[in-house]
Structure 1
């Protein structure tokens, strides 16, 4: 892709923030847009000054107004002619007719003022789009264009990042940006990942740790093995998603676009009727009503209305992208502003997702070591976090074990296998209960563990032949709350979320205990994966706008049925980025609070912009029909409304505020 094509590709989403009634075709002018606007403004000012001072012949002011109209008209009339050739009535045609009509009835000063102020409002729109575009393009500058590659003979060579193959080793010096995604081969350093994850503190990196393009190596040198080509890096994916998100129009923008498509032709029809009906049927003066129709054309310019939504959306999307939050479309940003309830998964979202064995309780003749050995033998086949904790504990204690035979996973409960020729099971409270091996004493132990918010794994013999099943031991496993959870949930509630519900596969007592610690309104435990989906659907039926927070992989079905799906810790996970509507690059629940807050701010700004633009037009239209408002006031009101809407929208480029 050439640099020119690359720039066009980057700017395409922002170009689409206009609409059919407000298209910009200023490229047809050989002079810069800004220069023409300044020339039109200066010449209009000279003409008005000459008229006011009466120090020169009247024709000199008329020449100044004509020159001002010509300068500003170079931005309007070619675009209007292009629209007419396509049989379209857009805002440029509307302005061209208004300016031409003003000259016909002898209002050269007002014609020049209309051209100048309209071209100024167009320049403001271009500036606003450029401001939002620069914010997006700043992401592109995060990745350096070249990488320092280590050759097989030990020499170093600087080559373009696009030419660096996967598995090549690159050198990252202190203070330099990391050009490609990779894995540290040697060296120790701290890396500033704020451009990708929004983390304020550097992250320590050592051999085996992942690093990402666009992040900064703060200190020390690193040798990194490239794991992804430049075009597929996490940063490249972020930029691609931001571009796609800008094209994904929210409902408000789609409505405004549909409205604008019929609005301009309707204005032309009404203006013609205003100009013709009073003189033809009520013997009113032609010039007065033609002038009223021109005022109608000018004040009906929909630019402030049309730009009300897209600049807000682009600004909001970019502000969140800077914070490590990828929103995959304006529709999702608008939806998150309407959320009333949140469903959250427990493991990895509310808790650290790193469970640890805290207690082993033998029941019967087995020792603690024997309970752990048999449990590890079965769980070595499993990828469940609790199984991993048990296996790692056995290894840390240097307990030798061989993988169990005849392993069978029991969804949502645990597993069965053969150890030393005997059939075993290891699983949760439900599995032990269904096996019929829970005695009152065991139930009491299980209840005590669950009341602490801990998970458990019950090891036992399955009934076989004449042998009755029995429990051999219980392992208590704790997964601590994330440090930011309590404060994040407080912010989420303060932002207007009415209810937060935790969905968990853990026992109800365990789930309730953890929910109480975290400050969650309600916890629902003993859930199978498909049951989580059902509960999210139920929440949607109750609250309409519901968010679901999970890991983006195991929770993909539940994320899909929610109004908005959040994937936690999506950095480096293409699956999480693809499945969720909103991907949080860092495992930090406060990012959800910030997203909800900014979504509400965006929605509020869009609503204010639309109502403000319509109100201004309604007031001036009323004044125009009663003969108070002229072309001056009409174009000033439109330009002023456009400027205020733009500035109001660009406020979102500031960092999201905390409640």
Structure 2
């Protein structure tokens, strides 16, 4: 399995843009470019003479940042591609031609900074796979035909071999229980909020955690074919198959760059095609066109807006791993959400206590909590939290694997457990079964408190405690805000049972809900949403969400409580676990896109105006320089509004 996953990571970068040669150290060059640009601007501002001192700093800054741009632009030209890097190279060259070194240095620094932020996200799939590998133990306890037990590497264990899984340990391979009963935390694979009871015949998944009982199981899949291994494959495949995010200015550059050059050549060659035209005049006009068309304002429109948007969201506790994801989040039309830990609290909570005898609800809770004092089962802990201070003392505590626990209270034997435990004591009647059907239909987990038959005491059920995972306090409001932000469809995807998922979806106001899903099923649903809506986000926090996070156009991870795998795989991490921050990210993304488009339109209008003036003889080269510099400055100031207006991301 470990060898197999190494192959997955080779192609799982997930980064569309060729940022630079991997041998070139990006971070030092970006830092150097920024410092040199700053020093040059400082020297220029205080009026240090001669002027070449400040210009030398701008030149060095341009070289430092340009090492991350010009080689990539050259490779693009060799492939006959005109992308943002080519447009950037033209802008910097044009700025130096018109003696605007400060502008060239600033443009190349801001551009290389935005590329650096984006490239850091490119390694996330490799890190995600590494955290997945850590979920499975490298060895398992093999039970030989003689009954002897020995430790063996998981890669050496074959289908049909028997293994022993001790209480509290991670399950090393996919298997089926032969003997023993226990509860297993399957959250890493299925995302279920409550541990699942396991008895002979039940399936076990590698990477899940065995509870209080010891299990003997027969291996049904090799290590490389386990469910967890398939999750790792899905993460790698999703990163490769995800439609590449393309920046708005990349698309624009494919049209703008060749159009400018072809127009300039046509103007310069006009005297050859029309008699009576002065070649010197038209060559001059061709140069004026190139100067006016110098795309500094166009190029800077994206990086300044992106850096401002990313910084604005970072102040809100939303970490965006690259500019393409900030642009992509502004295009989202549908969002898929995980249930446990995303929409819900992720931990069981007491819902209601139903008396079936002369015991009051408070007495039922006190007796159940007295027994559960010795248990660390999530349902037992939920009951204990609800009971608060205990007044009863239980003795002779005994856990019953796969069923519950029992103990002596005031000389009588009481038990707290599941349906099977009540049946085994022979005290579950049809009337009680009917009363239990309603909370079970809602997807609640039930803990039955009973007086066990012993000595001369007749056994009976005293009451039932309903426990369930509950909505996060901010969930409903956050989902409403997502709809208000322009999200047309919200779908819940969960590994929990359909009854529970439907109940939570109804309470939260979610458009559609799908339960009983394995990780590959979540991927299929995300792909369906992409087919229907084009741009789809996914919000999750667990290992089982990682493939869906990688498949979606934008993946959001609940950063503080989320698994390392989810955080590494996602494109955006919510560090405060505030679901409402997703709506803020969508609004900032939309606003960023709007500002980028406005900046480009504004720059083009200014350039078209001065181009018209140049052809009519009212604009010379100096006016072209003024237009380019002025447009660049206004574009920067407009982009910085994303930083200033923090409290109203939806504003103009």
TM-score range, shorter chain: 0.5 to 0.7
Q: What per-residue deviation string (whole Å, max 9, x for no partner) do you get for residues 454-510 of structure 1?
A: 72236699xxxxxxxx99975311444333333322222111111222334555555
Which of 342, 363, 382 lines up with 1:349 in the alignment?
Answer: 342
Q: What per-residue deviation string (whole Å, max 9, x for no partner) do you get for residues 26-61 of structure 1?
A: 79xxx9345558979x9xxxxxxxxxxxxxxxxxxx
Which of 599, 621, 627 lines up with 2:611 in the alignment?
Answer: 621
Q: What per-residue deviation string (whole Å, max 9, x for no partner) do you get for residues 234-273 of structure 1?
A: xxxxxxxxxxxxxxx962167269649x938x85675455
Which of 318, 323, 328 lines up with 1:325 in the alignment?
Answer: 318
Which of 445, 448, 452 lines up with 1:456 in the alignment?
Answer: 445
Query: 1:36-435, aligned counterparts within 5 Å?
Result: 36=44, 90-91=90-91, 93-94=93-94, 114-115=98-99, 118-119=100-101, 121-122=103-104, 125=107, 251-252=246-247, 255=250, 259=254, 263=257, 271-278=264-271, 282-361=275-354, 372=368, 385-386=378-379, 388-390=381-383, 397=390, 398-399=393-394, 402=397, 404=399, 407=401, 426=418
Once the two structures are overlaid, the 10-residue window that deviates more, 612-621 or 590-599, is 612-621
The equivalent residue for 2:530 is 540
Query: 1:643-658, aligned counterparts within 5 Å?
Result: 643-654=633-644, 655=646, 657=648
- Find the residue that maps to 1:346 and give its secondary structure: coil
The equivalent residue for 1:559 is 549
Query: 1:560-599, aligned counterparts within 5 Å?
Result: 560-570=550-560, 574-599=564-589
The equivalent residue for 1:442 is 433
- The Cα shift of 1:278 comes to 0.8
What is the TM-score with the length of structure 1 in the denominator?
A: 0.55
Gap change, CA 1:528 and 1:456, over 3 Å in 2: farther
The equivalent residue for 1:638 is 628
1:460–1:471 Cα contact (<8 Å) kept: yes
Query: 1:430-509, aligned counterparts within 5 Å?
Result: 442=433, 445-448=436-439, 455-457=444-446, 474-505=464-495, 508=498
Gaps of 5+ in 1: 1-7, 18-23, 43-66, 98-113, 136-248, 408-414, 462-469
The equivalent residue for 1:522 is 512
Q: Number of residue pairs matched?
A: 454
- The Cα shift of 1:121 comes to 4.0
Gap change, CA 1:534 and 1:509, over 3 Å in 2: same
Query: How far apart in 1 are the matches of 2:379 and 2:429?
Result: 21
1:26–1:33 Cα contact (<8 Å) kept: yes
Query: How far apart in 1 are the matches of 2:495 and 2:63?
Result: 65
1:376–1:401 Cα contact (<8 Å) kept: no
1:551–1:567 Cα contact (<8 Å) kept: yes
- Find the residue that maps to 2:510 and give its secondary structure: coil
Gaps of 5+ in 2: 1-24, 75-88, 118-243, 408-415, 451-459
2:33–2:60 Cα contact (<8 Å) kept: no
Query: How far apart in 1 are the matches of 2:439 and 2:357?
Result: 19
- The Cα shift of 1:634 comes to 2.2
- The Cα shift of 1:401 comes to 7.0
Query: How far apart in 2 are the matches of 1:608 and 1:71?
Result: 36
Query: How far apart in 1 are the matches of 2:293 and 2:399?
Result: 77
- The Cα shift of 1:392 comes to 6.0
Which of 600, 603, 606 lines up with 2:596 in the alignment?
Answer: 606
